[in-house]
Structure 1
Amino acid sequence: MRAPVRIADAAVAGLLHPGDRVDVLAGSRVVAAGVRVVSVPETAGAPTASATLPEGAGPGGALVVLAVSRHTAASLAGAAMSSALAVALC
């Protein structure tokens, strides 16, 4: 299953590529370990300084799509309700 996840630091999303493996963190807790990045949606349109940042980049973070199990998708959604999410490259 694919789960869209909004990570707090939009600049980190610029380091991610499809096929990368990441751990998703909520505070100091690992919510998902070693999950595969499916896509990092990018903004469309004319090139600007922020054109390489994923859609939704800004104070709300950036969107990353991950391949996860249903159980992990539910855990990610729950964690996102109460904490900002971050990723660490594996």
Structure 2
Amino acid sequence: MKTGIVMITLLFAFSANAQSSKKERGAKPSTFSELLEKLDANEDGKISKDEVKGRLKDNFDKIDTDKDGFISETEYENAPKPERSKRE
């Protein structure tokens, strides 16, 4: 009986974790305002290469089309969006 309860509890825990992972993958991209709030460390209202990481840092030079060293709202909105990986 106790083993059954433990198994059911584990099943629910794994199920809930799998559902939250799916939601995170399907999350919409951040707005520029949200990005500023998260990344603008010096609070100058701009996003510099030093303030970003990950894919955004890897693609910074492509996104910064006017080459001023900052990503503007227009540049962010016009940046190519990452392709979603297709499930097999």
| TM-score in terms of structure 1 length | 0.25
For the pair shown, the structure with the greater C-alpha radius of gyration is 2
Structure with more of its chain in helix, by fraction: 2
Structure with more of its chain in strand, by fraction: 1
